Homo-oligomer: A and B are copies of this chain.
Amino acid sequence: MARNTQVSADHNAPAITKILAQFVATHPSRGWSDAVDHEAHRTFLNWLGCAVGAAQHESVEAALAAVTMLQPAAQATVLGRSLKVDMASAALLNGISSHTFDFDDTHLKTIIHPAGPVASAALALAEHMGCSGRELIDALVLGIDVSCRVGNAMYPEHYDRGWHITGSTGTLGAAAACARLLKLDVQQTAMALGIAASQPVGMREQFGTMTKPFHPGGAARAGLMSALLASKGFTASPKALEAPRGMMQTVSTKNDWSEITHELGQRFEISYNSYKPFACGIVIHPSIDACAQLRAQGVRPEQVERVELRVHSLVLELTGKKEPQDGLQAKFSVYHGCAAGLTFGRAAEEEFADEVVTRADMVALRRKVVATVDNSIDEASVDVVAVLHDGSRKHVFVEHAIGSVQNPMTDAMLEAKFHGMADQVISATQTSALIASAWKLADAPNLRALCALSAGIT
């Protein structure tokens, strides 16, 4: 009933909950550089495209069917669908859809996918409450800063232990963003973070199932509700994050508090956000990039005798599937990544469709790829040589793949990625209008026009 046996508790943590609440409640609107503000727009745009793109996926269908059993009020848009549900359910559903393709953003230091929980909660609340686009962008920057800083403090022990860090820190980020939108004061914001602290979501064992994308959705919903509860006077511990039996010490034995306090309000974690050009795990990206560069140099699949890859051992450990049988398996095949890069110059969701993966030319081309481990090559790099039938050799070395922080996708690339996902769902014309609306988000007096464009046409 009452042992006091918690191992290695830190009783001297700084007042993290209060410090973050103070930051979220009082940091000035647009209190950051133009570059940070533009990155926030890129983060939002990328998230929006992913959510609209997956709107018809069976995971969203199933979740929507469950939510419908609650007979939800029509408050906030389900992205990519001509449908509104209550704002908490919209946060859940848009969080699920945005992570379904595994094509959303990545904060590389922690592997957090930060927009899923934060943007899903913030947009649903902002739409229903009539907030401005500026308020939404502010909430997004601050919410992502909260979740990624908490992630920095706990990573990697927390992740190694089994937590899907996107969901476990995402509840806090979503609560922070919603507290900001609700204009909660410092004390109420601390309560919102406190209530959220009791609700970390997500275990890594769920990878490969619908519950993986449920994690950002569940975190979005829980964070939004935490802020609503706090706004009505619901209370939590003012030390809910940092206390010995608070959230962080309960879910991680590593907690570097300085990751939360250092340069808070000066350095913004959203600056380090990255966006996937390819719809698969990041270790394959350099190889796809290299093969797409070979294609751009004029190499055609039918000319190829052999493709020689030199990669870090991790690449084959994680994605060494030589003969993938379907789209999901192909996402774990560096061989398929190379074949897609050479054949299409890209590897979006459609290049991982079952019917593409099983095509005879793709099977044949994958068999021509020979991968060799060379741990002098960084895991973020690759060395590729295409040996052609005429005996000539074409060489490409990729140090940082496209989509990395060092070599980011351009705004135009993000737009093309968005079109690739959304055109089939809401039409190319509507997608173009939606993209334009997203770039001008900070000027929008409310979210009505953007949400109307985000809704499906059927």
Contact = CB atoms under 8 A, between A and B. Distances in A.
Considering the complex of A and B, which 7 residue pairs feature the smallest CB-CB distances, nearest first?
A162-B250, A71-B73, A162-B245, A65-B232, A66-B228, A211-B236, A205-B246
Interface in A203-225: 203-206, 208-211, 214-215, 218, 222, 225
Contact of A209 (B236, B249, B283): B236
A75 interface: yes
A22 interface: no
Nearest to A250: B162
What is the count of identical protomers in the complex? 2
A11 interface: no
A379 B198 contact: no
A2 B283 contact: yes
A86 B66 contact: no
B66 A87 contact: no
A235 interface: yes
A1 B282 contact: yes
Contacts of A243: 205
A264 interface: no
A80 B59 CA distance: 37
A167 B222 CA distance: 15
A156 interface: yes
Contacts of A179: none
Interface in A256-274: none
A246 B204 CA distance: 7
Given A5-B160, A162-B6, A66 B240 contact: no
Given A198-B215, A199-B201, A234 B162 contact: no
Contact-residue bracket for chain A: 35 or more
Interface string A163-201: 110010000000000000000000000000011011111
A34 interface: no
A215 B240 CA distance: 14
A328 to B, nearest CB: 12
Interface string A308-319: 000000100110
A155 to B, nearest CB: 11
A229 B86 CA distance: 17
A206 B70 contact: no
Contacts of A225: 66
A277 interface: no
Interface string A70-99: 111101000000000011100000000000
Interface string A44-66: 00000000000000110111011
Contacts of A65: 232-233
A3 interface: yes
A237 B210 CA distance: 9
A45 B86 CA distance: 33
A111 interface: yes
A86 B71 contact: yes
Nearest to A227: B66
A239 interface: yes
Contacts of A167: 198
Interface in A429-450: none
Given A167-B198, A318-B2, A72 B69 contact: no
Contacts of A204: 245, 250
A77 to B, nearest CB: 15
A220 B111 CA distance: 30
